[in-house]
Amino acid sequence: MRDLEAIDTVGVVGAGTMGNGIAQVAATAGYDVVMRDIEREYVDSGLENIESSLSRFVEKDDLTESEADDVLDRIEGTTELTDLASCDLVVEAAVENMDVKQDIFADLDSAVDDDVVLATNTSTLSITTIASATDRPELVVGVHFMNPVPVMKGVEVVVGEKTDADVVALAHDFSEALGKETWESDDKPGFVSNRILMPWINEGIRAFDEGVATKEDIDRGMKLGTNVPMGPLELADHIGLDICLDATETLHEELGDRYTPAYLLKRKVDAGDLGKKTGKGFYEYD
C-alpha cells in the first residue's frame, strides 16, 4: 500500500456533481488528477463545472486567477479507464447502484497497480460488497464526501469488513490533506450521515404532506429551532429528490419500515421534479 507521501496522482471515476467536486479539491490541494467518465460530454461538463466553481472562489478572493488556472491545469479529463493506470489512489464517484460500482471496481482492480487504494464515495451502499468485486478488499475503503464538495468540510471514512487499518488511516490523512475534517463509521446501512439525515428529511416531507405546517414554516422552524443551515425540504431540493429517494429506499430495504419513503417524495420523483437541478422540487429555482 502506498502512503500519503507516495500519492502524487489521484484518479476520480465519475465527472458528475460529486466527481468533479472531488477532482477540484484534490487538484486545489496540489495533486495531479485524472477524472474519467464514460462519455466525453460528461467529462467536458464536469470540467466546465470545475471552472465555474473556481471562478466563484476567485470572485470571493479565496483564490487568485493564476491559482485557479493552475488547478485546472492539474486536471486531465478522459473516457479511458486505462488512463487511470498511473494513479496512486482512485476515488469512485459513480451512480449509487451496486452493480455499476462492482463493475467499476472489478475494472479498476485490473487497471491500476496492486498496491493502489480504491476508495468509494458511496453514501449508503456496503463497502464490503463493493470490495468483493476485487482481489484487494483490504485496500478498499469508503471516503464519503459531502455535497458541495469544494465547500463542505466533512468526510465520512467507512470501514469495510476487510479494510486494512493502514488504509483507514490513509483515508483520514488524505481527506485532511484536502482540507477536510473526518469521522469514521462501520460498514452499516447509511453509515452515520445518511442513517440519521435521511429519516430527518423523510419526516419533514411527511409533515408537509400531512398538513402539519407549510414547507416554509417546516424549514424555518428547523433552522431556528435546531440551528441547522437548511431545513429538511430545502436540503432535499439541494441534494436531489431522486438521490434522497434512492438512499431512503436502500435504508428501507436494509433496516425495515422505519425508513419507508414518504409518498410525496416518490410522487415528486415520478413527476421529474428533482429539486434545484431540475428547477423545481418543493421550491422553484432559476
- Catalytic sites, residue numbers: 123, 144, 156, 194
Distance between CA atoms of residues 92 and 250, nearest Å:
19
Q: Does the N-terminal peptide bond of residue 261 adopt cis geometry, omega within 30 degrees of 0?
A: no
CA distance 175 to 189: 22
The SS3 call for residue 24 is: helix
The full DSSP string for 173-221 is HHHHHTT-EEEEEES-TTTTHHHHHHHHHHHHHHHHHTTSS-HHHHHHH
Q: Which amino acid is at 177?
A: A
Residues 6+ apart with CB under 8 A from 202: 244, 248, 259, 261, 262, 265
Residue 183's φ and ψ, nearest 5 degrees, are -140, 165
Contacts of 256 (CB under 8 A, 6+ apart): none
